[in-house]
Structure 1
Amino acid sequence: MVIHTQKKSLVQALSFANKIDKIGFVPTMGALHAGHISLVKRALSENEIVVVSIFVNPTQFNNSADLQKYPRTPDADISLLKDLNEEIIVFLPEVSDLYEDTVAAKKYHFGNIEKEMEGKHRKGHFDGVGTIVNKLFRIVKPDAAYFGEKDYQQLQIVKKLVALEKLHTKIIGCPILREENGLAMSSRNKRLSTKQFEEAATIYKTLNEVRDKFGSTSITDLNHLVAERFLQNPDLKLEYFEIANEKTLKTAKRKNKATKYRAFIAAFAGEVRLIDNMPLN
């Protein structure tokens, strides 16, 4: 396994490969889990070369404490990837290498999709995501890049970024992997206590209940139902629940038979912020 800590060496290593091989890319912030591994396995099955980046991007955090507490396990991450496939190329850069003298996000105009849900609650988050993904794509020059659907809104942002920056990378969304209790796999789960981990299953149970009742219940009543479920669980604090048009991500107030909808939840278990989503029809 080759580990690159500087973009210059990675660019040199891939300069010839870019001409003859299909390159798959899995950008991560580390603290790898089975969800990440499923992305890497998909990339391995569809490309000759796979690059996995491990980088906690400071410009997408709107909370400095969250940035400091974000789990970092580079040795374990590298070991996990090596056990999966020794041919994987790992990119493990420093902030100074990617951002040089100015650690700041570029301002993007992603349209209405950046104003919904995460955009409302995490100011500047998607500018940070767009900035680092653009930097990484221009370094790796992947044919395909793989993202999990847990961050569904982010997935749509990245697709928009590719169009705005005129990049030649195919963006592939991959299904959410879940813990045994239904909680969506996330690096943040490592910060949960045993009790918090158990209680967080409420998120998945609630999404399932919304999906099951979606055909016969109004969106207003479903909003009330979700609020009630979280009031019943004092260990979780609901930040938002939205039923949105799956394509535009615009919040829905009433249903249209021709439209696909998806339910989105963000909630706190203590200080740990968890997100999840589920298609409804």
Structure 2
Amino acid sequence: MTGFNDQVIEEFRRTKGKLGGMFEGWELVLLTTTGAKSGRRRTNPLGYLEIDGKTVVVASNMGAPAHPGWYHNIRHDQRVTIETGTESYEAIAAVPPSAERDVLFAKIVAEEPGFAEYQAKTTRVLPVVILHRIDDRVRGMGDFLVEVHEWLREELKTLRVGIDDLVAERADSLVMENSLRAHCVSFCEALAKHHTGEDRGAFPMLAQRFPALAPALTKLGEDHVVVAESQKRIRELVEGYVHGESDPVRLRDDFEALASRLEAHFAYEEETVVTALNVTAPAPDFG
């Protein structure tokens, strides 16, 4: 099969996707994945369909009892390259949840009945994979996530200025303390709401569609627990702050530890999940 695939790949690239022989008239793409074990780039010619505006492929393996190698690869690294014969582009491979998969598979079978025959040959459920083109999208949920992070970063700056003013005694202490408490409450509530939404909504959805993200999502969830503990401590220090009795330097040191942890958390989250979020859902429109 390796030698056969190599011949098909060579002909596909040479003829710009216009294959002859047994593949004449077929709609094929070349899917390049990263080997789950080897880490090497692997290319496979695959039949594809356009269903409801989505490019989909089926991990049929011609009805064999095991999933094809490329499907195992995308479960470890969802980033792929697609060649159509006339262009090459980067994409992200998503595994839809079972209900969505069933709807897609029914539409696939309606267009290509051969996939029903492959399904009948095996007890495994043939996976359907959606190939989302990365550079062909509108403003997505990942972009919205970055915007939320930018707002939170600005709030961190405001809190830092307020705490520095307390340490330096640059203004009326009572005014500063009240202003700092108000900003702290606003920030803490917004951050808690943001993280709760991710833990209950975005992260489970991403874990289901992009299995390769599971380790990163686990780490992000663990970060949320640590951040919540630090956040609680900062809020207690701010709300219990009494001028002339409380230690502003301790408050600043604890806050800087939380701020550094949050900055690292935001950066890691943006690095790992923004692309997947962008291809999964559009950003909310608040009018």
TM-score, with structure 2 as normaliser: 0.24
- The structure with the largest helix share of the pair is 2
